[in-house]
Amino acid sequence: MNKKFLTFGLASLVSASCFSQITPLKPNQDAIRFSKAINPENAYKHLSVLASDEYEGRETGTKGAWMAADYISNYFKSLGLKAPVNGSYFQKIDLVNVTLKESHLTVNGQPKEYQKDYLVSPTLISDKGFTFSTNDIVFIGYGIKKDTYNDFAGTDIKGKVVMMFNGGDPTLKPGTKIDRAAYRATMEARAKYFAENNVKAIILIDPVVDRITESTKQALKNGRVMVKTNAALEAQKQNETPRVSISVALANELFKASNTTVADLQKKIVDSQTPASQVLNVPFSASAAKTETPVRCENVLGYLEGSDPVLKKEVLILTGHYDHIGLQTDPNAKDKVNNGADDDGSGTTGVLLMAKAFTDAKKAGKGSKRSILFMTVVGEEKGLWGSEWYSEHPVFPVENTIADLNTDMIGRTGEEYLGKPDSANYIYSVGSNMLSSDLGKLSEQVNATYTKMKLDYKYDDPKDPEQIYYRSDHYNFAKLGIPIIFYYDGMLQQDYHKPGDEVSKINFPLLSKRAKLTYFTAWELANRPKRPVVDMDGKGNPKK
C-alpha cells in the first residue's frame, strides 16, 4: 500500500458489522462449490513465487516487476482468460527513466560544480530544457504569506529570479505538528502567486546539497522513473518554471555582498517574526536539459466475458497491485529484499485465486452473467500509477463498469488485532458506502451468509489520521464515480515496507477467507439483475 495520501472529509460509519442483525442471502450452492479453488494451498503456490527473493521485491520498472507481470499473464492464459488489450494481457504504461543530460551554473561568471554546489531534478525540467540568467536575485525568505507574516510584502517578483529557503515556516514553534491541509493550501497559494507574476526561475537553498552522499549521487546518475499520466503531464506543464537547488555554502557566497549569511537570516526572521526579503545584485546563470528513456511497465489484465447477452456489456473489476518497493539501498543490510508478501503479494494472490474460481465456474456452465476484469496493477507504491493510468485509458467504458473490489494486504493480522479473539476472523472494509448504499448493504449480506467475519469500518472515519481510503488503487475508480470496496488487514507498523514482510509470516487460511469474502461479493455483483446504484456523494453522504 502506498505511503502517500490526501486529506478529505468522510462521513462517519459504524465501527464494525454485526451480521446477526442482517438479513442473509440465500446461499448460492454454485458459488460455494467453485469457491473451493480459493484455499491456503493454492494461495501458497502463487505467493511463494511472487514474494520470493528471486523477484527482488517487484519494484516498478525493474526485472522483478517484469517477472511478476509475466507470471501473472501466463497464469491468466492458462486459465483461458481473454487478453483484452488488443490481444495482449499487458496494458502498457508510458513510463520513462529521466536523467540529467547536462547542466551548467555560474555565479559572477565562475562555473559551479554539480552535486557539490547545486542540484537539478530532471523530472522538473521541461521537455525543452531551460536556461536563464540575471543580475538581480530577489530573496523572499520562506516564500510564505499567512496571517500577519508576508515574505512578499513590498517585494516585486514579477518576471524575476527568486531565491528562498527550501521548506520551513518561521511562524511555527519548534515541534509544532504540521497541519497538512494548511500546508498544502500555502504551497498552492505560492505556486499561483508565482504563476501570476511570471516568475522567471526559482533558486532553493537546500542543506541536502551540502551533505549529499555517494549513494545519492549514484541514484541521481541512474535517474528517476516517472509515468506520463495526463495528471502528471498537466502538473509538469503548470510547473515549468526552472528550479535549481543550491548548497548553503553557495547561498552564503550570494549573500556575501549583503554582509550576511543563511544562518543569520534565519535567526533574524524567526526572532523578529519579520521577513528579510531583499534584492541581491549578483550575476547568476543556469541551464539544464534532460533525457527520457522508455521503461517497460504494464498492468496485467485477464477478461472473463459474461454469459448474459445484455448484462455481459457491464464489467466488474477485481484489483490488486503486484508491485512492491524492491531492494534495500543500504549496502550493509543483511536482508536486501523487500519481499512484499503481504503488501501486496497477498492481494495479488487473491485476484489469481478468484480468477481460478470464476473460470472453473464458466467451464462448468455456471459462468457469471456480467463480465469480470481481473486486473493486477503496477506502480501503486510509486503513487497509484497503474490504476490512474487505467482510469485515464480504460479498456472497457467507465459507464459500463459497475464496481471495483480491491485487495491490498489481506494476509496478516494488523497491530490492533494482535492477541485479540477476532485476530483470525476480521477484515477492514473500506469505502463500501462511499458511493453506493446498495454495495454497502450487499457486502454485509454476503458476509452474514458466507464468511461471517468481523467487518471493521474504522478507516471510513473522517478523522482517520492515515487516510487509508485514499491510499490504494480503488480510489482511482472511486474518483470516476465507480462504487468500490477496499479490503485491508491494517498492518501499518510490523514489517510494513521492510524486508520482514516475508511469506513465512502470512496466515494462509486467513488470506483465503478474506479472498472468499471478496469472491462471494463479486459473485453477487456479477449475477444480480441490477448493478449497485450510485446514490452517495463519494464521502459517504446521500446525494442531494
For residue 541, tell me if it sits in a domain. Answer: no
For residue 446, tell me if it sits in a domain. Answer: no
CATH of the domain at 191: 3.50.30
* Structural domain for 416, as ranges: 30-93+297-424+494-527
Cα 290 from chain centroid (whole Å): 25
Residue 389 shares a structural domain with residue 505: yes
Strand partners, 372: 304, 316
CB 376 within 8 A of CB 319: yes
Q: What is the four-CA torsion angle of 420, 423, 424, 429, rounded to 10 degrees?
A: 140
Q: The cell 522508455 sits on which residue?
A: 294
**Phi, psi angles (nearest 5°) of residue 163:** -130, 140
Given this model, what pLDDT does residue 17 score?
A: 58
Print burial letters for 316-330: b (CB count within 10 Å at least 16), e (below 16).
Answer: bbbbbbbbbbbbbee
CATH of the domain at 68: 3.40.630.10
Residue type, 309: P
Give dist(CA 391, CA 401) in Å, integer.
11
Given this model, what pLDDT does residue 8 score?
A: 37
**Phi, psi angles (nearest 5°) of residue 68:** -65, -45
Residue 102 shares a structural domain with residue 80: no
Domain final residue, candidates 293, 327, 351: 293
Given this model, what pLDDT does residue 185 score?
A: 85
Given this model, what pLDDT does residue 257 score?
A: 87
For residue 138, tell me if it sits in a domain. Answer: yes
Residue 397 shares a structural domain with residue 260: no
Interval 203-216: pLDDT, tens:
999 999 999 998 88
Q: How far is CA 21 from CA 429, 441, 446, 455, in A?
A: 18, 12, 13, 13
For residue 260, tell me if it sits in a domain. Answer: yes
Give dist(CA 540, CA 432) in Å, integer.
9
Give dist(CA 483, CA 406) in Å, integer.
11
Residue 61 shares a structural domain with residue 112: no
Residue 203 shares a structural domain with residue 322: no
For residue 303, tell me if it sits in a domain. Answer: yes
Given this model, what pLDDT does residue 231 score?
A: 81
Residue 88 shares a structural domain with residue 102: no
Domain final residue, candidates 257, 275, 293: 293
For residue 269, tell me if it sits in a domain. Answer: yes
Angle in degrees, CA 312, 42, 361, rounded to 5: 25
The three-state secondary structure class of 370 is coil
Give dist(CA 252, CA 257) in Å, integer.
9
Residue 341 shares a structural domain with residue 405: yes
Residue 193 shares a structural domain with residue 244: yes
For residue 3, tell me if it sits in a domain. Answer: no
For residue 179, tell me if it sits in a domain. Answer: yes
Q: How far is CA 396 from CA 317, 369, 371, 393, 482, in A?
A: 10, 16, 10, 9, 13
Residue 375 shares a structural domain with residue 517: yes
Q: Parallel, antiparallel, or unpaired: how do β-strands 315-321 and 145-146 relate?
A: unpaired
Interval 171-185: pLDDT, tens:
998 888 877 778 888
CB 164 within 8 A of CB 274: no
Residue 217 shares a structural domain with residue 280: yes
Total of domains in the chain: 2
Reported pTM = 0.87
Domain final residue, candidates 293, 324, 356: 293
Residue 119 shares a structural domain with residue 249: yes
Given this model, what pLDDT does residue 9 score?
A: 36
Interval 25-44: pLDDT, tens:
999 999 999 999 999 999 99
**Phi, psi angles (nearest 5°) of residue 71:** -60, -45
Residue 115 shares a structural domain with residue 63: no
With a cut of 70, which residues of the chain have pLDDT below it? 4-21, 238-239
